[in-house]
Every structure is written in structure tokens, then in C-alpha cells.
Amino acid sequence: MIRFDAVTKSFGGRKAVDDVSFAVEPGTVCALVGTSGSGKSTLLRMVNRLENPDSGRILFDGVDIAGLAPVELRRRIGYVIQSIGLFPHWTVARNIATVPRLLGWERGRVEARVSELLDLVGLEPEIHAQRYPDQLSGGQQQRVGVARALAADPELLLMDEPFGAVDPLTRRSLQESLAAIQKRTGTTVLLVTHDVEEAIRLGGTIAMLEHGRLVQAGAPAAVLAHPASEQVARFFGGPLLGLHLLQVLNVGERTDFSAAPAADGEPIPAGATLEEALARMIADGVAHLPVLDAANGRRGTLNLTDLVGR
């Protein structure tokens, strides 16, 4: 969907993005991580041409975006930012309708799409459509921001620390909504975040930038299991990196299904993370959990030692 090809961009002699090459596959979520000033936002903003690379190419569906008109390109790409940037003089409905209206959709189609999107992001059309942004909570505003970005069914969604400004509980709920929406729509997402948990939770792949250079890219489990450098390991938790690893592995991968369950109690689903399994063991004071793999109709047992490896 998106291919960065030796992309470099400097601001005042300092290289913000330095010779970055990687690809984001269609229908996946790629989390772009790194510390502040690592160049991740700049890289994101080059995709919809809010910034232009000094050298290198960015291909969107195989086409070099340098040859596309910025305004048309941006209408094909959803854009969500941390500070949300809703238009304060427009109602929620009008905000969501921004891109469809720019594209000249007819009225009925726009209205239907607005209701559909409010539903999708978990807001109620009858209650929220005619409100103004300043009448919504921060979390609701960002739901509207996501709805606005998705309004014209973009092929790609760019998100720049979208949930960085809301409280942890709201952030968790927004992340869950986003994951569900992404699963349903199949939209490709490029997400900038400095929140490790968010990257692990949402990212199908993680790409880490350090001083403008790409230092590692891959599936969360691979990155966490084999960090490419000291910095990557430190970013993903340093001594606590192993705990993050528990978040990306699921129970089914470590369960012994060969024998009948040896443990009693409520079984844990095979799709749960090892982190959840560990939490259950600690809370219940047990070293073995029954596992139910509903998809394959299997039952098994997860032992505390399985968390380390099998």
C-alpha cells in the first residue's frame, strides 16, 4: 500500500528522516514508534504531502506520490492528529461530512454516511450529530476525528498520536474501537505513537525510528523477542521487555493440548494473551489454568512454566 524508498528529509541542516525504506502491506496496521524527535511524525506527514521529502520516493499503491496533486491525494487518505483539530464552527455531522462534501457527494449519500460513521465510532446520531465540538468530551471529540478521517472510505488512514491527549481509560476504549473498526473495514493504518503498549496492542507490524533512521521493523513478537539494538530494547521496556512479550503471545501457542485438562476452574480462551493468563494465575493463586480452544474444539492446560517457553 505504502512503500518508502530511501526517503530523506532535513530541517535546517538536521536530518529529520534519514534514508528510510520499508513498506506497509494493504489491510495492516503499522505502528511507527520512536522517541520524540525521532522523525516519525515527519515521515507520516510526508505520506499525504504535508511535508515533501528532499530525496527518495514514496509509493502509494505503486504510484509515486510526488506526481499526485496534494489536495486530491489527501482526500483519499484519512488523517487523525493528537490535537484532533475539529472545525469548531461546524456541528459534529458537518465535521464528519468534510471530505464527502469536498468530493461533491450528493446530500442524501452524505447524510447516510454520517449516521453510519457515528454508529461505527460508538456515538449516537440522534444525540451527537447536531452538537458542536466544544460540547463533547475529549474522547468523544477524537471519535468524531476518527469518523471524519474515515468518512470517504479512504484506502489509508494516517494517525499521529491519535489517543495521546485522553485519559488512560478512554484511550483503551478508543484503541479497542479502532482495532474493531480496522478489522471491519480493512483500512490500512499507519499509526505514529510513542506509547509502547499502544504499538503492541494495535500494530500488526512495528517500525522503530531513531534519529531519523529506521532501526527495526517487524511483527511485535519478533521485535520484542529479538530487539535489533540496545536502544530498541530500552524503548520496549528495558528490563521489563519480557513482560511486553507476554502481551503479544497468546495462550494457544503455549498450551499443551495433548492431555485432558489437569486444572479445574473457568477455562481461559486460547486467544487470550499470556499477560492475561499470568494475571489470572496470580489473582487465583494457581500455577495451572484450563484452556478452551473454542475454534478447534480442543481443551488443554497452560502451566506457569509454559509462559517461559515450550
Partner 1 sequence: MTPGRRQAGLVRLLGRPVLWVGALFLVLTFTMDRIAPHLGFLFPPGTRLVYSRASFPELVASHAMLTGLASLVAIVVGLAAGVFATRPAGRDYAATLEMLTAVAQTFPPVAVLALAVPAMGYGAAPTVLALVLYGVLPVMGGVVAGLRSVPAPVLDAADGTGFSAAGKLWRIELPLAAPIILAGVRTSVTIGIGTATIGSTVGALTLGSPIIDGLSGSNPSYVLQGTVLVALFAVTVDLAFGELEALYHPRR
The size of the interface with partner 1 (CB under 8 A), counted in residues, is 25
Binding test (CB under 8 A) with partner 1, winner from 3, 15, 23, 50? 50
81 binds partner 1 (CB under 8 A): yes
41 binds partner 1 (CB under 8 A): no
148 binds partner 1 (CB under 8 A): yes
Q: Which residues contact 102 (CB under 8 A, 6 or more apart)?
A: 75
108 binds partner 1 (CB under 8 A): no
Antiparallel, parallel or unpaired: β 29-33 and 77-81: unpaired
Among the listed ranges 4-12, 98-106, 199-207, 238-246, the one in contact with partner 1 (CB under 8 A) is 98-106
Binding test (CB under 8 A) with partner 1, winner from 16, 24, 33, 86? 86
Residue 210: closest CA among 46, 47, 57, 32: 32
Among the listed ranges 143-151, 169-177, 269-277, 282-290, the one in contact with partner 1 (CB under 8 A) is 143-151
Binding test (CB under 8 A) with partner 1, winner from 23, 59, 68, 102? 102
Q: In what order do the strands lie in the sheet with 298-303?
A: 268-269, 288-293, 298-303
Decide whether 61 or 253 has the Cβ nearer to partner 1: 61
255 binds partner 1 (CB under 8 A): no
- Extract the C-alpha cell encoding 189: 493504518
Among the listed ranges 74-82, 118-126, 192-200, 254-262, the one in contact with partner 1 (CB under 8 A) is 74-82
Among the listed ranges 96-104, 118-126, 236-244, 299-307, the one in contact with partner 1 (CB under 8 A) is 96-104
Decide whether 148 or 254 has the Cβ nearer to partner 1: 148
Dihedral sign of CA atoms 152, 157, 159, 163 in order: positive
Compute the distance between CA of residue 266 and CA of residue 279 in angstroms, rounded to an integer: 14
Compute the distance between CA of residue 229 and CA of residue 236 in angstroms, rounded to an integer: 11
Binding test (CB under 8 A) with partner 1, winner from 12, 13, 89, 283? 89
79 binds partner 1 (CB under 8 A): yes
**Which chain residues interact with partner 1 by CB under 8 A?**
48, 50, 71-75, 79, 81, 83-89, 98-99, 102, 132, 134, 145, 148-149, 158
